[in-house]
Amino acid sequence: MSNASDDEFHNFMTGRWPSLVRTAYLLTGSHHDAEDLAQSALTRAYAKWDKVRHSDDMAAYVRRIMIHVHADGFRRRTVREWFTSRLPETAVADRTAQVEHRSALVDALARLPLRQRSAVVLRYFEDMTPAQIAAAWGTRESTVRSQITRGLAGLRDDGVLAALAGDPQEARTQPSDSVALKGMPR
């Protein structure tokens, strides 16, 4: 690769890094995994840089690479972690409600199936249209809309989010009627 191409890639990488890590974090639920995912996506983008830089939207191209890297890693991953409902350490309550709500939302996103989580993250956190998501996934727009609808329903029915919405008693009995997530359509 020429020095001009290297400089162009470097400028792209430094400009898009925060957005890539944010999206990767929402996909993986872990800051360390998010950085690894963003780095892997940029490594693949660098290898195909001539093709990436001649695309209509370089950011969308790299985001699509990241989605595929994440899906590939999810398929190949061997279970090295044991998920439990209780952590071995004593949890320390966070003092700000905003951080608590964000953490609960990230946890609720992590409980969604991979395709639903990806659809919700790309639609509402990356402001991508269903058509853009369908192009990134290589699927139909109706499939994307279906995954978004199911993902939002899963978030609305999540008991932890219902409790944060202010009505934990009703959340246990009728979660889909009592929860309205701020900023997410019903």
Per-position b or e across 88-112, b if 16+ CB within 10 A of its CB: eeeeeeeeeeeeeeeeebeebbeeb
Please count the structural domains in the chain: 2
What is the pLDDT at residue 176? Answer: 40
- Is 42 found in the same domain as 72? yes
pTM equals: 0.51
Question: In this structure, is residue 89 part of a structural domain?
Answer: no
- In this structure, what token pair is assigned to residue 56? 């209509």
| pLDDT, tens digit (0-9, with 9 covering 90-100), for 30-83 | 899 999 999 999 999 999 998 988 888 898 999 999 999 988 876 665 556 666
* 69-109 per-position pLDDT tens digit: 988 876 665 556 666 676 666 666 545 566 677 788 888 89
Average pLDDT on 9-26 reads 91
Residue 77's pLDDT is what?
A: 57
Look up the CATH number of the domain holding residue 56: 1.10.1740
Which domain, by its residues, includes 170?
A: 97-178
